[in-house]
Amino acid sequence: MTRPYNFSPGPATLPEAVLQQAAAEMLDWHGSGMSVMEMSHRGRDYAAIIEQTEADLRELLAIPPNYRVLFLQGGAQAQNAVIPLNLAALKPQRQMDYVVTGSWSQKSAEEAAKYGDAQVVASSASPTAGHTGGYTHIPDPATWRLRPEASYLHLCSNETVHGVEFHELPDLRALGSQAPLLIDFSSHMLSRPLDWSRVALAYGGAQKNIGPAGLTLVVLREDLLGHALPICPSVFDYRLQAANQSMLNTPPTYAIYMAGLTLQWIKAQRETVAEDAAELRGLAAVEARNIAKARLLYDCIDGSQLYVNRVDPACRSRMNVPFFLRDEARNAAFLAGAEARGLLQLKGHKMLGGMRASLYNAMPLAGVQALVEWMREFERQS
């Protein structure tokens, strides 16, 4: 049976090959007689899984050797508190700077204010947009009000709800800041390479691009360890987790296993770029495919009289594409027709309304082509 195309923003679609392998190994992993769900996280079999998963993650993202990889729980929202608990005291003033470009970075700033002097140093919110925030662009970094004694600067590099993405991360040194840059990259993690020369810490929930809900990845520079506030729970102390190889408590073992399978799937990807017939592999192939998928959908929207995307084209997300029907009375009919064609989970976030198509790594180009076909057919019916 042909599977439908699932455009959910998360938990999101997974590669079919990964699901098939997990199903085949469900009762017996590699002759161990156990499911991965049943293994001790301190046993030899599971050690092989988590070590290979970290090795593959390091290879794909080109993580430098002076960065540590933590496999944690609690989701990105927990990190909104865990980060200030660990890093607010990097400088005695406990100043934490936040750039707000959507609802997730706004939540991060609000949570951090419980643990120190959290200040929004730049925001793209529109004062007339009401509860939706009106986030449609990224403020020019030259206008950010960076504080010289800030412990860090935080931003969300892809806003899942509003569809705003930093395609190039800011160079804080060029802006005159010595603060480490921290990013929430939950919804574009492993969709493109990452410039670690500009990033001191990246974190995110895995349920968008690399596995099921339950796993939170934190990749951080070693000099950020050892600064936790006294009130920080031990299980959320980055130094303790790093010292125990993410085994201070039982990690999300099955979610890590699934992430490992997905990383192997990414490594095996191949893509030929038509312009020069070059074959790309691994993460480069995935990025090229993501660019093509996003371009196809945005071209359909921009060439339409019915659909509209309100985000500045310079920072439109490749992963999460919100769009609206100019005649919103037709929303229900659009969604019903989409579902009948096997195009699922296209309803927009409750904050914004409209539609949203999430084009994560596992969404094939054929799925976006099917969506565009339906969008054009529906417009012809209008």
Catalytic residue among 91, 208, 293, 347: 208
List the structure tokens of 172: 């804080």
* Contact predicate 141/160, CB 8 Å: no
Catalytic residue among 91, 97, 104, 144: 104
Q: Where are the beta strands (DSSP E) in the chain?
A: 5-6, 67-72, 95-100, 117-123, 150-156, 158-159, 164-165, 181-184, 201-205, 216-221, 270-273, 278-281, 307-308, 320-325, 343-344, 355-358
DSSP assignment of 248-309: SS---HHHHHHHHHHHHHHHT-EEEETTTTEEEEHHHHHHHHHHHHHHHHHHHHHT-SSEE-
Catalytic residue among 29, 91, 97, 184: 184
Is residue 208 part of the annotated active site? The answer reads yes
In terms of Cβ atoms closer than 10 Å to its own Cβ (0-12, 13-18, 19+), residue 273 is: middle
Residues in the chain: 382
Is residue 104 part of the annotated active site? The answer reads yes
Is residue 107 part of the annotated active site? The answer reads no
- Phi (first) and psi of residue 274, to 5 degrees: -60, -35
Show which residues are catalytic.
Answer: 104, 184, 208
